[in-house]
Amino acid sequence: MFEQAILPGRFTDGVSLCLSAGPRYVGSVHASTSAGGVDDETVALLRLLSGDLARLVDPLDGMPVPVADDAGAFAWSPSDGRRVALSRSGRPSLVGAGSPLAELLSPSAWPSGLGRHLLVVAGGELLAVEARPSGRWVVVEHRPAVAPAGLSLRELEVLALLASGATNRMVARSLGVGERTVATHVEHLLAKLGVGNRAGAVAFAVTIGLVHVRGLPRR
């Protein structure tokens, strides 16, 4: 910056100002002058305009986004695929190109206009994921979840696949295990859930929004 612009332009003074929308950093302004210096009035004017300047460059259009302290979060625009991290642990790649969650979290798949809650089991990871509308954006929050009813991750995978309509044979092929192993998992999860048949187990899975995907991108 100095060698390419400031020194060749013979600038003698300057000021930098961070731009933010609430707690979110959205950019910065760097102003320089080649005559005299940047006076206090100019600095005060830039500060006065900082809110308007921030809205001009903010990809979320100045939208306030409340996020739970313990959640990873990001904003997503399904129409054009734009994603903006809202927390350090946010994983915008969860709805990136090729991610199976993109379709599940798209507003067109929501049971209502209020949003969608999912319990996602994938590759040894269990995530509670919530999507909700915020203007023309979708805010997605995610956090590690505790398995319900004392179910193991493998039992959750089996249950999620059963809820999708898979047979024991289809579950076995999907998970790379034998049908007898699947039958054992089904027996165990029915006992843990306290239900007498698969229909009761599937109803439980639907209630908690349980879904199985093959893998989730890390970041």
- Tell me the average pLDDT across 199-210: 97
pLDDT of residue 9: 67
Flag the least confident range among 29-43, 94-108, 190-204.
29-43
pLDDT of residue 2: 63
- Residue 124 banded pLDDT, cuts 50, 70, 90: confident
- Residue 87 banded pLDDT, cuts 50, 70, 90: confident
Q: Is the pLDDT of residue 35 over 90?
A: no
List, for residues 150-185, the tens digit of each pLDDT value.
999 999 999 999 999 999 999 999 999 999 999 999
Q: Cα–Cα distance between 130 and 160 in angstroms, integer?
A: 18
Residue found by looking up tokens 């979290």 in the block: 105
Residue 85 CB partners (closer than 8 Å, separation 6+)? 73, 74, 92
- Tell me the average pLDDT across 140-153: 96
Say what the pTM is: 0.77
Q: Which tokens is 29 given? A: 């302004």
Q: Which tokens is 89 given? A: 């642990």
- Tell me the average pLDDT across 125-154: 94
- Tell me the average pLDDT across 182-191: 98
| Average pLDDT over all residues of the chain | 88
- Residue 92 banded pLDDT, cuts 50, 70, 90: very high
- Tell me the average pLDDT across 42-71: 81
- The C-alpha angle 154, 156, 158, rounded to 5 degrees, equals 70
Flag the least confident range among 28-32, 94-98, 104-108, 172-176.
28-32
- Percent helix, strand, coil in the chain, to 5, is 40, 25, 35
- Residue 188 banded pLDDT, cuts 50, 70, 90: very high
Domains of the chain: 2-57 (no CATH), 72-117+125-144 (no CATH), 148-212 (1.10.10.10)
Decide which of 84 and 119 is more confident: 119
